[in-house]
Chains A and B, each alone.
Chain A
Amino acid sequence: MADLLEALLHRPNFVVFVTLFVWGVYIMLIHPNFVKKLIGLYIVQTSVIFFLVAFSAKSDATVPILPPETTSVEVARYANPLPHVLTLTAIVVQVATLGVSLALVSAIYRKYGSLEEDEVLKRIE
């Protein structure tokens, strides 16, 4: 038990990631309100992006841009750009998903006049 706690304390990033992920899934499953479900989904997606950023962090490293006069490259001095690019793409995908889902939610609201799932399901019958 003490070992586990120690391991967790050494990895605060991952504790935050898991907390956010589980919290988001909980909101998504439990909440009957459509917008709150979306917030849950958004938290889940953000937690994964946080994970990508967390593992790509590197101390004492700089942006991977080489000035033209560079002659020798010390790999250890530069951060790996790929995870950041992945993060950017994932954020774009996330924003697009949010756009489509908000459009759907607003269409549901215009049609059924409610955002509560049970309320809407009652009106569909």
Chain B
Amino acid sequence: MIEQLPVLLFLVPFVTAVSLPIVGSKYVSWCRPLTIGSVSLMSILAIVNLVTVLARGEIRYVFGGWAVPLGIEWVDDGLAAVVILTVSLLAVISLTYGEGDPGAARQRSPALYFTLILLLISALTGIVLAADLFNVFVFLEVAALTSYALVGAAGGRALVSAFRYLILGSFGATLYLLGVSYLYVATGTLNMADMATRLPALMTSSSVVSGLIFLFLGLSIKMALIPLHGWLPDAYSDAPSAISPILASSVTKVALVAWLRIMFSVVGPSAEVGHVPVIVLLDVLGITAAVAGGVLALAQVEIKRMFAYGGISHIGLVLIGVSMGNATGFAGGLFYLINDAVMQAALFILAGASLHYYGARTLDDLKAVRERSPWMTGALVVAAMSMIGLPPTGGFFGKWNIVLGALQAESYGAVIAVLLSTLLTLAYFVKLLGSLFWRAPSPTDRRLEIPKTLSVSLGALAAAMIGLGLMSDPIVGFFRDFAQRGGL
């Protein structure tokens, strides 16, 4: 039973997704409970999976009994287990929030809407687990197609945003496929472990180098790495409010995880392209993204777009961490990735709720709000602390380890970039909180009551942000072990 866990993690949401259109067309009110139930079951399995992986080491699953490298293999290691647990728990929380969101209730066919969400979650699980380059491509495309449809589900302006997302996303996927074909031509294999043994001898071949570049370009579009981030702000700010938290907390992060897997278990951290170490190139891209994302976020007046650019800048921070070439930076980067997923979910839930309950889309709208909810304000303050990186939230420990790793690698540009992006984050949150507390409280102000589902999801996320901070030591230690076993 235990060795079937990786596939069960994928099958639980997938089977529900496939059966939902049949069940849901007759019993419309069952759709949401079934979806939440299935994702909760998946989270429980993810916890079991994490415990198993911690106790026994990685699980390698071979499909249909066909031995690698001919068969397709899934590798369920520590990183995969943690990312799947994060994705599934955040999906449960975001779905709980969606309960009270009026946008979701307006959907003409709830069964199909929830089918798309479940397909997205199962495809993300597939991306994280797959140890086969072509398998990753297929899951990337399933995840991308469902995201396009979910963004477009809001109708109106979102249709155009979804279309642009589709054009860029499909172009990225095509580049990825091209990269995979180049690597296949050069090595004759698609299995990651098998390719890892053949690549080092071929790193001077121009087809391998260009294949890796295409592969990276394709995944950078998917992870919205500056300057290929164009699709993200529109797509996430126009998507239905109940959808943005799910997308923002998972899609770009999982694409980044896919790249890390290729970078560190296939290419190897010490690889060089034309005498320039690959990780130095990543470092430069990360610095650019971290700083430029922060500047762009500061320039926004719309709340959702500000958070979207914040997420883009954090992708840069994670890249800085993992490209330091030492275990501390790598662990800090991965820990920050998990934190970023939680923060993005919290911020987009807050943005969706403020649009609905405060009627505030922009910072100026916030100034006019007269009835505030203490739950929302509290969660925003915790999220702001974590985004800026104040102890005891998880954001602080992530940045701390990234900076420690950068100091150890004597990469002072990276240290400055992390500090600069922290200052920029501080600046845009001061702007945001300044708008929220624009007026002095007056006796006529009333407390706004929000639905239970919203306060529960906000409470859970705020607890997670602080909990990650308090638990940072074992988690970072776990990632450091993972990195050291990977040869860092």
List chain A positions with a Cβ less than 8 A from chain B.
Answer: 25, 28, 34, 37-38, 41, 44-45, 48, 51-52, 55, 82-83, 86, 89-90, 93, 96-97, 100-101, 103-105, 107-108, 111, 117, 120-121, 124
Residues from chain B with Cβ under 8 Å of A51 in the complex: 178, 181
Tell me if A111 and B178 are in contact (CB < 8 A): no
Known: A41-B171, A108-B160, A124-B157. A48 touches B152 (CB 8 A): no
Residues from chain B with Cβ under 8 Å of A107 in the complex: 152, 155, 159
Instruction: Return the CB mask of B141-178 against A: 1 if under 8 Å, else 0.
Output: 10001001100100111011011001100110110011
Cα(A124)–Cα(B185), bound, Å: 46
Tell me if A34 and B163 are in contact (CB < 8 A): yes
Give 9 A-B contacts (CB < 8 Å), ordered by A residue.
A48-B174, A51-B181, A86-B181, A93-B138, A97-B145, A97-B173, A103-B149, A107-B155, A108-B163
Tell me if A100 and B157 are in contact (CB < 8 A): no
List chain B positions with a Cβ less than 8 A from chain A.
Answer: 134, 137-138, 141, 145, 148-149, 152, 155-157, 159-160, 162-163, 166-167, 170-171, 173-174, 177-178, 181, 184-185, 190
Nearest-CB distance from B195 to chain A (Å)? 14
Residues from chain A with Cβ under 8 Å of B178 in the complex: 48, 51
Tell me if B159 and A100 are in contact (CB < 8 A): no
Nearest-CB distance from B113 to chain A (Å)? 14
Contact of A96 among B141, B156, B184, B190 (CB under 8 A): B141
Contact of A48 among B166, B167, B177, B190 (CB under 8 A): B177
Contact of B159 among A48, A83, A111 (CB under 8 A): A111
What is the interface of chain B mostly: helix, strand, loop, or mixed? helix
Tell me if B166 and A101 are in contact (CB < 8 A): yes
Known: A28-B171, A104-B148. A124 touches B160 (CB 8 A): yes
Tell me if A108 and B159 are in contact (CB < 8 A): yes
Residues from chain B with Cβ under 8 Å of A48 in the complex: 174, 177-178, 181
Residues from chain A with Cβ under 8 Å of B174 in the complex: 41, 44-45, 48
Tell me if B167 and A104 are in contact (CB < 8 A): no
What is the interface of chain A mostly: helix, strand, loop, or mixed? helix
Cα(A52)–Cα(B155), bound, Å: 37
Residues from chain A with Cβ under 8 Å of B134 in the complex: 86, 89
Cα(A51)–Cα(B207), bound, Å: 13
Inter-chain residue pair count (beta carbon < 8 A): 77
Cα(A124)–Cα(B155), bound, Å: 12
Cα(A93)–Cα(B169), bound, Å: 13
Tell me if B157 and A37 are in contact (CB < 8 A): no
Cα(A111)–Cα(B158), bound, Å: 11
Tell me if A97 and B141 are in contact (CB < 8 A): yes
Cα(A63)–Cα(B159), bound, Å: 45
Tell me if A105 and B171 are in contact (CB < 8 A): no
Residues from chain A with Cβ under 8 Å of B167 in the complex: 28, 37-38, 41, 101
Tell me if A100 and B166 are in contact (CB < 8 A): yes
Cα(A121)–Cα(B157), bound, Å: 9
Tell me if A93 and B141 are in contact (CB < 8 A): yes
**Closest B residue by C-beta to A25:** B171
Contact of A52 among B157, B162, B181 (CB under 8 A): B181
Contact of A100 among B145, B155, B171 (CB under 8 A): B145
Cα(A52)–Cα(B184), bound, Å: 10
**Closest A residue by C-beta to B165:** A104
Contact of B160 among A28, A96, A120 (CB under 8 A): A120
Residues from chain A with Cβ under 8 Å of B157 in the complex: 124
Tell me if B177 and A90 are in contact (CB < 8 A): yes
Residues from chain A with Cβ under 8 Å of B148 in the complex: 100-101, 104
**Closest B residue by C-beta to A21:** B178
**Closest B residue by C-beta to A109:** B159
Tell me if A96 and B166 are in contact (CB < 8 A): no
19 additional contacts (CB under 8 A) given A48-B174, A97-B173: A28-B171, A45-B174, A48-B181, A51-B178, A83-B184, A86-B134, A89-B134, A89-B138, A93-B137, A93-B138, A97-B141, A101-B170, A104-B148, A104-B152, A104-B159, A105-B163, A107-B159, A108-B159, A108-B163
